[in-house]
Amino acid sequence: MQRNTQQRDAIRTALEQAGRPLSPQELLVAARARVPELGLATVYRTIKALVQENHLVPVDVPGEPARYEAAGKAHHHHFLCRSCDRLFELKGCPGNLNQLAPGGYEVERHELTLFGRCADCRPSPARRRKSVRR
Amino acid sequence: MQRNTQQRDAIRTALEQAGRPLSPQELLVAARARVPELGLATVYRTIKALVQENHLVPVDVPGEPARYEAAGKAHHHHFLCRSCDRLFELKGCPGNLNQLAPGGYEVERHELTLFGRCADCRPSPARRRKSVRR
DNA sequence: TGCTAGTTGATAAACGCTTATCAATAAAGA
DNA sequence: TCTTTATTGATAAGCGTTTATCAACTAGCA
């Protein structure tokens, strides 16, 4: 039987509150706010379990370790800040992307990633600059 | 001074003839058609050199090792066949992709990858089925 | 409260890819 | 052809991420 441990709660909660896909490392740091003695192995174990239960989906980013976000969201894409390395969720999709494939190719899905600087990391006209954790 | 070895020739030629971005492993196999005793280390060394000379650019794919293609091409995207694992080049870009980012975000570039089955790997209506190497 | 088995944390180990090492080889000019 | 030295191939080592191990811990229930 599955137990409700404070570690799992902390991980689930951290992911909810982040509002963006988190890597295992980010998840470790975030969840330690509630359970300071949390170990990395537990984070990986919990992620694995949540993915298998379809509560979490991996978000693959080019050249980066996978992030994880809640399953069941509407189709959308992501933005990776090259400065703070955080991945953000974007709304919607321009559509018609699959039509890029030539005839004979069967497209099942697509993934779009924007790269740049997030609002917090932009150099000059940065209003409301927050602390940038990574 | 830089020497013109048959290994480098074989690697450059293999990449030209492939017509699609190749991973170091794929490059090794392809270039061995000309220089059978070619080693993996040489492939990595040559790739590194060609990238530094701006003759080659890495193509990052979500959840996959990097591929490499000739530099200087027009902006375009790629298709990854989940069956044979080959990466194909697509023509053009739908445009307006960067507008997905919310205000305050500075977009520098984007990457789009379609996933599916290439013409060679499609199950049923496959005309002219070729051998599928991987 | 006490028991029991699922869960945890620290660490080692596995894993896949990339780089370093080094003696042997071979390109390029004399 | 000879000499020099960049290059090579095989292998070990490095690196970052993910998984396995195992004794200690604790959630859940009687």
Residue type present at position B39: G
pLDDT per position as a tens digit, A90-101: 999 998 899 999
pLDDT per position as a tens digit, B12-28: 999 999 999 999 999 99
Which of chain A's residues 22-81 bind strand C, using a 7 Å CB cutoff? Answer: 35, 37-42, 45-46
Q: Would you state the pLDDT for residue B1? A: 59
Which of chain B's residues 25-64 bind strand D, using a 7 Å CB cutoff? Answer: 35, 37-42, 45-46
Residue B2, pLDDT > 90, answer no
Choose from B83, B105, B132 for mutation: most chain A CBs within 10 A.
B105
* Distance in Å, residue B46 CA to nucleotide D3 C1': 26
Average pLDDT for chain B? 91
- Partner-chain contact B106 A117, CB within 8 Å: yes
As a whole number of angstroms, the distance between CA B34 and CA B55 comes to 21
DSSP notation for B65-85: EEEEEETTPPS--EEEETTT-
As a whole number of angstroms, the distance between CA B21 and CA B50 comes to 14
Residue A8, pLDDT > 70, answer yes
Q: Would you state the pLDDT for residue A61? A: 92
- Partner-chain contact B101 A114, CB within 8 Å: yes
Question: What domains sit in chain A, N to C, each tagged with a CATH number?
Answer: 6-116 (1.10.10.10)
- Partner-chain contact A112 B110, CB within 8 Å: yes
Residue type present at position B67: R
The beta strands (E) that lie in chain A are given as: 56-61, 64-70, 78-81, 87-89, 106-117
Residue A127, pLDDT > 80, answer no
CA proximity to A39, closest of A11, A68, A69: A11
Instruction: Check: pTM over 0.85? Answer yes or no.
Output: yes
The label of the residue with tokens 């902006």 reads B75
